Structure 1
Amino acid sequence: MPNPHLLRTALLACCAIAFAAAHAQTPPGIARVPLDPVLFSNSNQKGVIALDVAGVTREAGREVIAQDGGFILVAGDAHTDPDSDAPSRIVLARIRPQSTPIAVPGGAAAFLDAGFGDGGLRVDAFARTAHSHALHGMVQQPDGRIVLMVRSALLADGPDAPGELLFARYLANGTPDTGFGTAGVVSLPLCDGADCALRQPLSFDLAMEPDGSLLAIASIMKLLPNGGFREIELELRRLHADGTPDLDFGPDGLQAYDDFPGLGEEIGAGQVRLARRADGRIAVVANTLDFDLEGHGTPAVMLLRADGTPDTAFGSGGSRLLPVDPARNAMLPMAIDVQDDGRIVVAGMALAPFSDAPSFFAARLTATGTVDTTFGGDGNVFGDSTPAGDGSDIANAMAHDARGRHYLVGDTGPNAFDPHVGVLRLQPNGAADEGFAANGLARYTELAVQTGITNVFLTNERAFAATVAPTGVLVAAGARVSQDSSDRSEDRLIAFRLLRTELFADDFE
């Protein structure tokens, strides 16, 4: 008999995905921070790139890096089969910083860096053409090399097959680094033999050490032979910069956790996210299996030392439950960020009882794991795109700038069917930054770039990744979807950048 708590947790995790499809019209009072006209588009719309990759039917940007010189590196999933929901390729693109479009055959604006990959693009199947590939992380190592973390599985095995975890490394110019692994790819199986049928991967994340070493985490649901749930386990791997396992970190460079250290709480379904602190400690956020406070889902943060053992001085023996607002039925973490002073911020979506209208939430802990009451008064902050709080708002990504301001980036809208990108900026104390937008939240309903589709009745955009460049510019990536009256849909990978002079009108450099 499946564990009812786990089923409920899994349902909430599904809600996080289902609700991440949200919008309709911009309500009065929601200001829009202008997009950056320096970033060119292939239409009249400035500040947004809509990337249409040849031979691909649908694309989505999952990771973004703001490189030196104003270049933007974007990576994401690509579908080659219009009838399949499984992404089958990975796209890596580098966007030029200049504002003047370059004429190319066909009259399109050349916004890609022609010196990167193949004309600015790299579309990869890693010699596994019968596999689906989903991107779960991208980092740039100190020497400029780029590493992607990809889950790869045979399409014929279905979406729940464990498959393998790939680490693909590219030189700074976008060509495969053949000195890394085999032809530029290191493969780590996510199961072994008969164990494969009992392991279902749920979520992944990637971070990097200052020396280029890789930290990769996976959330794995373990099943009983009869199909029931046994537990959810987190598997944390450390690889040297060259892709070989760090055997000092544990057997095969791996350590596993089946509960939150010191809390006695099991790990639940949903997203797992990690971030490395400046002191070398590793912060991980995930949901607990148990539900407290009359059915409120409780996220928890664990802090690990550099060797993967729990930091027992943090929270209660290494972990801390996030503060849960009594008016919220669930708080589902989607992103984690660490400040320079070691404080840990978690963002995601919060639900009220009997409501299908999630809101942005952010919660902050001190470096030692206590609730940071200087943040929002009780450690929690919520953001809604509609005055009545009945919109559908989900923070998929988070970043902070040099002044300590937090950016929650994701989907916003008054319903759960047509999302548009939303950005909530919070001051260091968690207060909504009214100098950025009304209630601190700006919605971008004009990111759509029409590319040949007529009779469009549905166009929406979603953001999955965000970062603040050294210049202070916020850069994000995601997907744009258009659907016409014949139910023909297309996705485009998008990248966009906010207008710096408006974003930092206080002359912050």
Structure 2
Amino acid sequence: MQSDDNDAYPVDLQLQPDGKLVVTGPQRSENTYIDFALVRYTATGALDPTFGKGGKVVTPVGSGASSDRAAALQVQRDGKLVVAGTTNNSFKPTGDDFAVVRYTAAGVLDPRFGTGGKVITPVGAGSSDDTATALQVQPDGKLIVAGYTIKSDSTGYDFAVVRYTTGGALDTSFGKGGKVVTPVGVGGSNDVANAVQVQPDGKIVLAGLAGRDVALVRYTAAGALDTGFGKGGKVVTPIGPGDSRDVAFALQVQPDGKLVVAGSTDGGTTGDDFALLRYTATGTLDPTFGKGGKVITPVGLGASSDQAAALRVQPDGKLVAAGTASQDTGTPGFYFSLVRYRADGTLDTSFGRGGKVVTPVAGGARVDALRALQVQRDGKLVVAGYVNGGTSGSDFALVRYWP
């Protein structure tokens, strides 16, 4: 999705039961405002003319010259679409707030949700910056939005999670008035939640980073820290050697209750690599996965920057991590990349070349950044991201692969 040199950056992709594909992300217009953008495609990849205007919906969320950055998308059981992200208001500089918008199946703002389909929620105290990064719909229809908020002393960030009723009101049975803020690392560390999952038992798991390490936090269904998980509900895991920067961007709950996260680790002179970790249901690293629960995979060529942004567990138990890999040899650039692993964390050599697939989407020395992944019922893999050719701006891009 791009026109008139506007920039669009897809961040999430969902499959509808009818096979249609919905993508969301922030859209920057010529006047530099940023709005929520939503695009729906048919199962064959064409824009769906029954959705919005020619398959596209662009929504300003905050008032005035606000910066509205969509971050996550979910499809409800009734076909309605929910987008979560962040908004601010240039006329009232009170910091960034969580923003949730719900649409009908046709792409119209849902008047039954919040105010005219929109809900804006300040999370931290005062004029704090609150950033929403992830969204899940509970089986009862309540909405879980996760992200982070600046610490009260402005020394870093804390994990933040908010639960809403089906109508968009804060769920006062969760945390403190519907909100939970959790410091994870030591001192003034930056604790950033990038992913959220709701377990079948109703417990809520967030994954991201604390300082320079991967971090997970699990809550009870009421928003209290789950003391049966890790240390007081928290798990912090270094991956690479020394002071490497290790971060989780994606999280999945396996049918057996184990938790798998995907992200990246700093390999030093070799650049960043894909990183996967698997934990038992109690938060300990799973010794049956990789090396002590960890798998590190270089994907690109040379001193590449490889970052897994999405993760899916296939019905056969195999894991697919998807993201972006670069190369500093040949034609330098960043490319869509997928890696498939067996259930024990070894590379699935039946997939691509030695378990890896690297795809230049637009060709040439461009920036192709993959952000989302889904597995279709027929086993095909669909990914979404953006391509940036420089002067032409950034476009939504989807690619589908055979299983």
1:393 corresponds in structure 2 to 306
Are 2:129 and 1:243 equivalent residues in the alignment?
no
**Where in structure 2 are the equivalents of 1:157-172 lying within 5 Å?**
162-172=95-105
Which of 131, 149, 153 lines up with 2:66 in the alignment? Answer: 131
Which segment drifts farther, 61-70 or 230-239?
A: 230-239
Contact 2:337 2:357 in 1 (8 A): yes
SS at match of 2:393: strand
Q: Provide the rounded CA distance (Å) in 1 between the counterparts of 2:187 and 2:216.
A: 11
Q: Which has the higher helix share?
A: 1
Unaligned runs of 5+ in 1: 1-50, 100-110, 290-296, 450-456, 504-509
Which of 199, 212, 217 lines up with 2:146 in the alignment? Answer: 217
Distance 1:236 1:392, change over 3 A: same
Distance 1:280 1:267, change over 3 A: farther
The one-letter amino acid paired with 2:312 is A
Q: CA RMSD in A?
A: 2.5
Contact 1:409 1:423 in 2 (8 A): yes
1:275 corresponds in structure 2 to 197
2:22 corresponds in structure 1 to 73
The one-letter amino acid paired with 1:211 is D
Q: Provide the rounded CA distance (Å) in 1 between the counterparts of 2:193 and 2:160.
A: 13
Distance 1:258 1:97, change over 3 A: same
Q: Runs of at least 4 residues of structure 1 off by over 6 A?
A: none
Deviations 1:410-468 (A, max 9, x none): 111224972111001111111101100223111001x218xxxxxxx632311111122
Offset of residue 156 of structure 1: 7.0
Q: Which has the higher strand share?
A: 2
Deviations 1:45-98 (A, max 9, x none): xxxxxx33x45611111110011232111111111137x5xx612211110124
Deviations 1:285-310 (A, max 9, x none): 23234xxxxxxx32222221111112
2:322 corresponds in structure 1 to 409
2:234 corresponds in structure 1 to 319
Distance 1:154 1:380, change over 3 A: same
**Where in structure 2 are the equivalents of 1:487-502 lying within 5 Å?**
488-499=391-402
Work out which of the two has the higher radius of gyration on C-alpha atoms and give 1 or 2.
Answer: 1
SS at match of 1:470: coil
SS at match of 2:202: coil
2:43 corresponds in structure 1 to 97
Identity %: 25
Q: Provide the rounded CA distance (Å) in 2 between the counterparts of 1:156 and 1:480.
A: 33
The one-letter amino acid paired with 1:94 is R
1:298 corresponds in structure 2 to 213
SS at match of 1:495: strand
Q: Which has the higher contact order (CA 8 A, sep 6+)?
A: 1
1:59 corresponds in structure 2 to 8
Unaligned runs of 5+ in 2: none
1:173 corresponds in structure 2 to 106
Distance 1:185 1:448, change over 3 A: same
The one-letter amino acid paired with 1:276 is V
Distance 1:415 1:157, change over 3 A: farther
2:82 corresponds in structure 1 to 147
Q: Provide the rounded CA distance (Å) in 2 between the counterparts of 1:128 and 1:373.
A: 51
1:232 corresponds in structure 2 to 157
Distance 1:168 1:372, change over 3 A: same
- Length-normalised TM-score, structure 2: 0.91
Deviations 1:177-203 (A, max 9, x none): 1121111112213456xx21xx23456
Q: Provide the rounded CA distance (Å) in 1 between the counterparts of 2:224 and 2:151.
A: 22
